[in-house]
Amino acid sequence: MPFRTLAELAAVAAERGLTIGAVVRETEARETETSEAELNARMARNLEVMREAAARGQAGIKSRSGLTGGDARKMVEAGATRLVAGEQLGTAIVRAIAVSEVNAAMGRIVAAPTAGSAGVLPGVLLTVAERVGAGDEQLVEALFTAAGVGQVIAAKATLSGAEGGCQAECGSAAAMAAAAAVQLAGGSPAQCVDAAAIALKGSLGLVCDPVAGLVEVPCVKRNGLSAATALAAADMALAGVRSVIPADEVIVAMGEVGRALPAALRETSQGGLAATPTGKRLAAEFLR
């Protein structure tokens, strides 16, 4: 993609009176010599996989290791009367956890931006779409917005937990989801970019410390928490709250923080929660 910064992407969208998603889709069509209709169809298929995974996870599913599974179902059964965060936030968290549990169970998901953070986008966007009455056409365009944000993050920093910690995975997913959510809610391109910056700032420094080297503990619950971060960032941006540090500078800072993290906190399972007594015991049991 020719856009190397979110600032440039938002400026072009605003100048042309388009959404960021529309600009990303148009650019992708030109760069790949693919029709926008075909790109829409491909993205619609991704959306359907997201929906299917969210539904499957909520029905209850266990991973092969037995470390995770069933937590999305527990939240569904608890219902709004027993939970305190509110129905919409709770629904987004449930869906994010559900998709992540499907991933842990080797089910089909959309790795956006990675398999380990695959629950955040569907958790947020499916819920926001219900909230604002958006249909599949708007959801597909919002996914192009998320893709554009992800492409810039990949170019300026990283999306890899092994390279940048979980801030690069769940943090980037939260930024992508926040920007897309703002677009769904009718926000401006500039507000989309502010939402991405706020979400990524809220995830800065998040380490990658999977127990037993599996994308399960603490990854599944971090998907739920990152969905909450994305929604909070979207609301702030929609209210007119600006990110003091520009989004592109936040992305660069995330990359620098990732490089500064010790190897033990970058997906090696040598530090963090993976190195706790319980983490070590679970790893030993799994590898037995």
**Structural domains of the chain ordered from first start:** 6-287 (1.10.4100)
Which DSSP symbol is given to 243?
Answer: P
Q: Indicate if the pLDDT at residue 2 is higher than 90.
A: no
pLDDT recorded at residue 50 = 98
Mean pLDDT across 156-173:
98
Answer left, alpha or beta for residue 213, where phi above 0 means left and psi between -120 and 50 means alpha. Answer: left
Query: Is there a contact between 215 and 162 (Cβ–Cβ < 8 Å)?
Result: no
pLDDT reported for residue 67: 95
Residue pair 265/272 in contact by the 8 Å Cβ criterion: yes
Per-residue DSSP letter, 239: T
How many DSSP H helices and E strands does the chain contain? 13, 0
pLDDT of residue 80: 65
Within a 13 Å sphere around the CA of 111, how many CA atoms are in the beta-carbon half?
9
Residue 62, beta-bridge partner list: 69
Cα separation values, 64 from 75, 85, 267, Å: 21, 31, 20
- Cβ neighbours of 18 (radius 10 Å): 16
**pTM of the full predicted structure?**
0.97
Residue-wise pLDDT for 84-134, tens only, equals 999 999 999 999 999 999 999 999 999 999 999 999 999 999 999 999 999
Nearest to 116 by CA among 138, 101, 131: 101
pLDDT tens per residue across span 239-285:
999 999 999 999 999 999 999 999 999 999 999 999 999 999 999 99
**Helix extents (H) in 83-169:** 87-104, 120-132, 136-156, 161-164
Residue 81 pLDDT > 80: no
